[in-house]
Structure 1
């Protein structure tokens, strides 16, 4: 992975680090610009760890040591968005948590833009374009993305549904056939019920698309995957930035299917759009 992705790599791998190394990561992610100016002794003191721990942390990210790590950190800031993911603290005021949440969302979307694999997008668009029917499954905070997908994909003249009830998902998965596409959306990819539903759908012959973390239990049972690898604190707060990435990817897929249908399909979409015109008040002049 390129040097400019160092911050993204730290965020993605933070759960793999031991407690001491995670302290180092927290200090760096809290203010990477300040970290660049710190000596190894200052960083160790800020993280309440030893200097060898800092060196070990740096080598974990394929750098030769702390000086090389700081160079790559500077390149990371220069090559990507200046906004980084910072955890919301209990004593944050409205200004602080608003800035953190919106900044983290900007950073996450920018990272997704730079790292999404167009070949994976093309494969998933292929599956969706050829589908006999499409079902979107999600639970909890990921459910809005599934219902947003239903709102977009029902316009393509094929059966589409979205469900956030596990029992309904299981029944649909059990009754699926070859030609059906089931898209499962999950931030963690570790929800047992969704993994079981995806496995059941796959065994029934459906194509299962996962929008989730790469290497997760859900990803392992999917036919194809659009990975969303974002370090986000979901133990206390609901997923925020990841949900926005899920919706952005849904927009990308819907656009891909629209383009695949060709210009002859545009009048159909225009007809649907124009059907809503009588439901709106005319725009007011200012």
Structure 2
């Protein structure tokens, strides 16, 4: 049941004020997905907390998540591009849709993220002697970004988007190594095989993937991202942003966990890089 059908089905069970919100949305669903919570509240003649209560009644995590699910129910989108965009959209409309979808998707991931699993992942990374980041396709770009983040830390870091090199690295891994495998679907056979190879050698496998996927099940620890994006049909957009943001979370946790002495080392790295850049333009003074 899509969101429009869910609203219609539950219409009679809603409170008087919540029903006003539902009727305003059903009257102009395309406009609702681009409205702010304040604007929708004014159009329905209710308070903003009422709109939030309505969104939770519909089984969503809040207004941004509700708008994302409503947008997905309005159209299947343009295949091979994105579910939220129609082929006749103007540049203004599809630009707004992409930003709205990105913000709503990140908010959904933030709300559903298992912070205890993140904390455990940071423990594993800080205790490792070597870290490897592997992904294929769009996830390879995320793995490369992770390598750039962790390369400035005083721990050996490996990255490769070549499956042969990935296999050799996993075969040669050890108990003190952490292998980070990144895949939105978690159904890429090669990455699931890598997880098995690494674990056979005693290495810790950290997966950034979808809940319940073969990769999540084959990992030592899985950080699962709740991103309703079918990358079999559409370009990976929100899922990639969610993965990149989670890498930032892990890198920040790594930095804080290692303490002040470690951050002094980062300061020296930054100082060494400073000579490679031009100075900032001085600000004009009156």
Q: TM-score range by the shorter chain?
A: 0.7 to 0.9
Does the 8 Å CA contact 1:177/1:204 hold for their aligned counterparts? Answer: yes
More moved, 87-96 vs 129-138? 87-96
Report how many aligned residue pairs link the two structures.
235
User: In the aligned structure 2, how far is the partner of 1:260 from the partner of 1:133?
Assistant: 17
Stretches of structure 1 lacking an aligned partner (at least 5 in a row): 1-20, 44-67
Q: Structure 1 residue runs of 4+, over 6 Å off?
A: 26-29, 68-71
Q: Secondary structure at the match of 2:58?
A: helix
User: In the aligned structure 1, how far is the partner of 2:231 from the partner of 2:176?
Assistant: 35
Structure 1 residue aligned with 2:190:
193
Stretches of structure 2 lacking an aligned partner (at least 5 in a row): 8-18, 30-52, 72-83
User: In the aligned structure 2, how far is the partner of 1:139 from the partner of 1:127?
Assistant: 23
User: In the aligned structure 1, how far is the partner of 2:230 from the partner of 2:89?
Assistant: 16
TM-score by length of 2: 0.74
User: In the aligned structure 1, how far is the partner of 2:186 from the partner of 2:128?
Assistant: 24
Structure 2 residue aligned with 1:159:
156
User: In the aligned structure 2, how far is the partner of 1:83 from the partner of 1:173?
Assistant: 42
Mapping of residues 199-210 of structure 1, within 5 Å: 199-210=196-207
User: In the aligned structure 1, how far is the partner of 2:61 from the partner of 2:208?
Assistant: 26
Q: How much has 1:238 moved relative to structure 2?
A: 1.6
Q: CA 1:272/1:102 → structure 2, altered by over 3 Å: closer, same or farther? A: same
Q: How much has 1:25 moved relative to structure 2?
A: 4.3
Does the 8 Å CA contact 1:141/1:238 hold for their aligned counterparts? Answer: no
Structure 1 residue aligned with 2:57:
72
User: In the aligned structure 2, how far is the partner of 1:271 from the partner of 1:256?
Assistant: 19
TM-score by length of 1: 0.74
Q: Secondary structure at the match of 2:151?
A: helix
RMSD across aligned C-alpha pairs, in angstroms? 2.9
User: In the aligned structure 2, how far is the partner of 1:184 from the partner of 1:129?
Assistant: 17
Structure 2 residue aligned with 1:36:
22
Structure 2 residue aligned with 1:235:
232
Q: CA 1:34/1:142 → structure 2, altered by over 3 Å: closer, same or farther? A: farther
Q: Secondary structure at the match of 2:134?
A: strand
